[in-house]
Structure 1
């Protein structure tokens, strides 16, 4: 995740980070600029279209559709950010849950071997969950038309959780913890699976295909028709104007694509590996 000063406007405006959308869109922006210039040349010098021709009224359509596309993009980015923020809250919950379990076990356990086991196994869950969510096959588990390697192996976060619960139950059988303490620990143990399931829901349930495809097609055709309506008024200036409009619209879609899966390797994705390392450090301090 990128570290930055939110109040440093000068750096935001004039510094280009490798995650900036202009880098990703640059080739197609050049193509659109050439396309717009060609359309402008043909309208003005070849077909000699003037302000009295009907084609000059196309911006009326753009004005009406502009409101529609703005609503779609606002909903798109808000939905993507909700997924990103929910992922952050889930991993924040995992941090607190790991701390709470470590604190309770540190008070209940007297045997050093038992304490050593949980000192290792609690951070292991966070680390295994990080790797599980970064596995590209995890995002495809709900697809019916693929045979995934992950389906032929055991669910690793569940296996770690199973080891924890079996150890807790063994402690109860050995009278090292009471029945009341077992009940207290059960809530913390159950939260691990709840967090894992919620993260998987975000990971393997993308935005519906038809919705995402429609927005991309809408942006493309909206941009491609802009030169026909504005060439007469702007001349060759239509090229940079159309490129800028495309940059704004396409950038919003690219940003939404990046953050809707917060458990990937993109610059703005959640630092789950760092969070897992912090959990390890905190648990070792507590037990």
Structure 2
């Protein structure tokens, strides 16, 4: 995730970062520029239709459709941002619940060995969840340390949560914690699986296919018909106008596509790895 100062907005105008939409759209911008030149030349210089007053009214259709497409894009970007923000809230809950669990265990547990176990396993859940959501491989190091076999073909965060539950149950059976204390710390452990499920819901449930395809087709045909209408009004000035309109519409769609999937390695994705590192730092301080 890109860290920046939102107050220095003027510098953003001349800044081109890796995820900038202009880089992605440049081949299409060039293609649409060539297409617009051909259309304007064909109607103005070849057919000489620039003085036809009836054809100049074609722009009315684009004005009406422009309002419709703007509403669709607003809904599209809002929906994508809601998914991004929901993912951020879930990871915020993971931070708070990890801290609360560590604080409770710090006060309840007496033996250093038990505290050391949770000092390692609580942050490890965040690390495993981060890699699980990104479909990356997970180190066997911690599981080997505690002589635990993990099946990488199965749900890995669940296996870490199972390890937590097993250890808590052992503490209860050995009378190191009471039944009331077991219920007291059970809330945070259960929340880990709830957070994992919420993140998986965001990751595995994209925007409906039909809606996404319709919007892309709408933008494509809207932009491709712009030169047909504005060639009679603006002449060769149609070319920069069409390019600018295409850049705005397509950029909004690209931004929505990127942020609707917040768990990845793109520049605008959630900094889940950094959050997991912060959890480890907090747990180390507490335990």
TM range (shorter): over 0.9
**In structure 1, distance between residues paired with 2:121 and 2:213:** 43
**Residues 50 and 233 of structure 2 are in contact (CA less than 8 Å); yes or no, is this contact kept in structure 1?**
no
How many residues are matched?
A: 274
**In structure 2, distance between residues paired with 1:64 and 1:116:** 65
Structure 1 residue 16 displacement after superposition? 1.4
What CA RMSD, in Å, does the superposition of the two structures yield over aligned residues?
1.4
**Residues 56 and 228 of structure 1 are in contact (CA less than 8 Å); yes or no, is this contact kept in structure 2?**
no
The residue number in structure 2 matching 1:147 is none
Q: Secondary structure at the match of 1:58?
A: helix
The residue number in structure 2 matching 1:42 is 42
4+ aligned runs moved over 3 Å, structure 1 = none
Of the structure 1 ranges 11-20 and 249-258, higher mean CA displacement relative to structure 2 is found in 11-20
Is residue 182 from structure 1 mapped to residue 182 from structure 2 by the alignment?
A: yes
Structure 1 residue 11 displacement after superposition? 0.8
Structure 1 residue 269 displacement after superposition? 0.3
**In structure 1, distance between residues paired with 2:264 and 2:58:** 42
**In structure 2, distance between residues paired with 1:99 and 1:9:** 35
- Deviations 1:56-115 (CA, angstroms, capped at 9, x unpaired): 221111011111100000000000000000000000000000000000000111111111
Please give the residue correspondences for 1:109-120 in structure 2 after superposition, counting only pairs within 5 Å: 109-120=109-120
**Residues 80 and 259 of structure 1 are in contact (CA less than 8 Å); yes or no, is this contact kept in structure 2?**
yes
Is residue 236 from structure 1 mapped to residue 236 from structure 2 by the alignment?
A: yes
Of the structure 1 ranges 10-19 and 65-74, higher mean CA displacement relative to structure 2 is found in 10-19
The residue number in structure 2 matching 1:248 is 248
**In structure 2, distance between residues paired with 1:45 and 1:128:** 64
Q: 1:261 to 1:136 in 2, by over 3 A?
A: farther
**In structure 1, distance between residues paired with 2:157 and 2:16:** 39
The residue number in structure 2 matching 1:74 is 74
**In structure 2, distance between residues paired with 1:58 and 1:24:** 31
The residue number in structure 2 matching 1:195 is 195
Structure-2-length-normalised TM-score: 0.93
The residue number in structure 1 matching 2:30 is 30
**In structure 2, distance between residues paired with 1:95 and 1:78:** 26
Unaligned runs of 5+ in 1: 138-150
Structure 1 residue 242 displacement after superposition? 0.2
Unaligned runs of 5+ in 2: 138-150
Structure 1 residue 9 displacement after superposition? 2.2
Structure 1 residue 171 displacement after superposition? 0.2
The residue number in structure 2 matching 1:124 is 124
**Residues 55 and 228 of structure 1 are in contact (CA less than 8 Å); yes or no, is this contact kept in structure 2?**
no
